[in-house]
Structure 1
Amino acid sequence: MSEFTREGLERVRESLRAERWAVARLHALASASAREVTARADPDDWDSIAADLFRARLTEISEELTSARRAFARAIDAIDRALLALAAVVPVEQPVGAAR
């Protein structure tokens, strides 16, 4: 149950932030790749069916990555709320010898 300590929650939050950043980076790379492929495509070889399929797949990828980013954000917010609640309930340990 160590993940429910303040330190454990903070570690999980930082891990989620790193994953959210990685998903955001994938989203940016997918978008940049799509722009680059579209810009370099030879109009004579790039038929409308292939272009439509490419756009549809890219839209699906973008939607999935956006959903993942939102899920990470919600999880991080929940952990932040848990940390605030934990801070309100669990008193900070007093130094040895301090009066209670």
Structure 2
Amino acid sequence: MAELVGPRVYSCSHCRNHVCLHDDIISKAFQGRNGRAFLFSHAMNVTTGAKEDRQLMTGLHTVADIHCRDCREVLGWKYERAYEESQKYKEGKFIFEKAKIVQENW
């Protein structure tokens, strides 16, 4: 399991497993299932669930839930496919729900 050292690290709020870097945030203006969410370009120490089509606020997307590799908590989802041209930039990116991650070493 990779461990990130230094400032600006986000961890799973349940077990404190490092899951992403602040520098990988693309946008903080996203909506998750339970409130605000952040779009990240990369994630680590997560596993992805089964792909499924979901109708989200911005249209139909194929997504896969992302789980903390350590405690299995659902932290958000990964965009696998966007069906609308204007949403293609999300493909391969990760949504982390703000309530599911915490800042470490800030």
Same fold (TM over 0.5): no
Relative contact order (C-alpha < 8 Å, sep 6+): which is higher?
1
How high is the TM-score relative to the length of structure 1?
0.24
How high is the TM-score relative to the length of structure 2?
0.23
Instruction: Give 1 or 2: higher strand fraction.
Output: 2
Instruction: Give 1 or 2: higher helix fraction.
Output: 1
